[in-house]
Amino acid sequence: MQFPSCAVVPFTTPGGTGQALLTSAGVTVIESPPGTLTDRGVGDGSTVAQIESTYGNDHSTMTIQTESGESIFVTTGDPGQVGNGNPGGLIGFSISQLPTASTSEGCGTITYPETGVVASIDNLQGGITCEVAMDTAERYLNDTSLSHAGNTWSAEVDGWLCSVLTATASELEGHSLECADRSRGISFQAVP
């Protein structure tokens, strides 16, 4: 399609079709299919925390309310200029939770070895199965060959970064353990 000042160029990815809006200044907008991830492993449906963790060290972020829901913008420029000819490289994400694979009862329970406290594996994000979440959590808690670090007892388990929350953070966040693989945009939690 051609318009007087721009062109819309459709493209196809393994996830579906998208389109790029080109102007004389270059690519202005890229609309990608649902489930598309950036080279850093986040995209539409990622949480604010995931996006800020991924881009927060070298980009500015700004969350805004749009007609279609809440969105977060990541930019190398001024996020206050979103929609006003932002001078930096700009990436925008819709913020929505991906469908969970868990039920209200969760996937099953784990027991923290040091305290005996029982928690339910729940809040699966990114299409992972209960079996994968349970196996990862059990290995994180009970595999003595893993190296745990810090007051959050963080450890890497086959690409997953798992950690327990401090008591205060757990109370605020509503879960006691989180495992995430940011490169694939997937995560799960243990809920007390």
Q: Give the model confidence (pLDDT) of 106-121 as tens digits.
A: 799 999 988 888 999 9
pLDDT for 163 beyond 90: yes
Please give the residue that has the higher pLDDT: either 66 or 14: 14
> Does the predicted model carry a pTM greater than 0.85?
no
Judged against a pLDDT cut of 70, whether residue 148 lies above it is answered with: yes
Please determine, for residue 164, whether its predicted confidence score (pLDDT) is greater than 70.
yes
Return the bridge partners of 157, or none.
160
Confidence of residue 98 (pLDDT cuts 50, 70, 90): very low
The C-alpha atoms of residue 164 and residue 18 are separated, in whole angstroms, by 39
Average pLDDT, integer, range 101-106: 45
Tokens of 91: 């990436």
| Side-chain-side CA neighbours of residue 100 (13 Å) | 15
Phi, psi of 98 (to 5 degrees): -70, 155
Whether 3 shows a pLDDT value over 70: the answer reads no
Provide the CB-side half-sphere exposure for 170 (13 A, CA). Answer: 15
Distance CA 160, CA 158 (A): 6
- Joined tokens for residue 160: 């997953």
DSSP state of 172: H
Please check the confidence at residue 4 and state whether its pLDDT lies above 50: no
Give the CA distances from residue 182 to residues 42, 93, 156, in Å, rounded to whole numbers and listed in that order.
Answer: 7, 15, 12
